[in-house]
Structure 1
Amino acid sequence: MGGHNTHGYAVVSAGGRTGGFLTVHTAWYQRLVGEVPPGLVLDHLCRNRWCVNPAHLEPVTSAENARRGARTKLTADQVESIRRRVGDGESQGAVARSIGISAPHISRIVSGHRWSPVPRAIERRHARLMPLVSSGQGGSESLASNGSRPSLALGKV
């Protein structure tokens, strides 16, 4: 039996009375690729929460997944620029005003409490895939030809 969770991801029963639920994309990833490494979550590179294509899923830390999310205001390049500008002597307030975010947020970025260093390889891969999503080429496998959501029969997960 399936449905969706409070975050909008499709879920399927993990089996048994106390098995709970597992997101469908995680179930498919585990079936086709293998277990998600401990401490990591799956990021939908295509930004489509219903997509189950393992090529569109990447195991990342929760922090990296949040950085890539739709609500993220800054890119890794902007964060590097903020750190460089403050390091060169520009005031945090001036940097904050020029970008349109709060000075306390600049302080958290500079101190490393927000936006810990981003591995450049991950950032480059993410940037390479985003044009596919914007052009409508990514994530289409997760929709039926009529635009409806697929019904998935996973059996026991």
Structure 2
Amino acid sequence: MHGKNVRAHRAAYMLFVGRIPEGKHVLHRCDNPSCVNPNHLFLGSHLDNMKDKTKKGRAVSLKGIKNPRAKLSEADVREIRARKGTSQVDMAKEFGVSQAKICSVINFTSWKHVN
């Protein structure tokens, strides 16, 4: 459209419903990403899309070692928490993660599922 590549569902929305405001996403009531039925499309924010995904059970969160990008093991997390008084910078170097990650482990903002 107008010399730009546009995803089909966004094009359908623009053709049959109207303009898409800046920062808005075109979401699917039917949860079918390839659907272009204008009756199935509605506008929302990125947050609306994430909430809709979670509400409908489509949000997959791989926690801990199930996440392929995890650098720590559950044993590492327990050890970090047991060594709470140790320098976070030193532990970060030892475990190969950032000081911010060590802090989030200690404060249970990450790896919440590990006691």
Shorter-chain TM-score category? 0.3 to 0.5
Taking CA–CA contacts closer than 8 Å with sequence separation of 6 or more, which of the two structures ends up with the larger relative contact order? Answer: 1
Q: TM-score, normalised by structure 1?
A: 0.34
Q: TM-score, normalised by structure 2?
A: 0.45
Greater share of strand residues, 1 or 2? 1
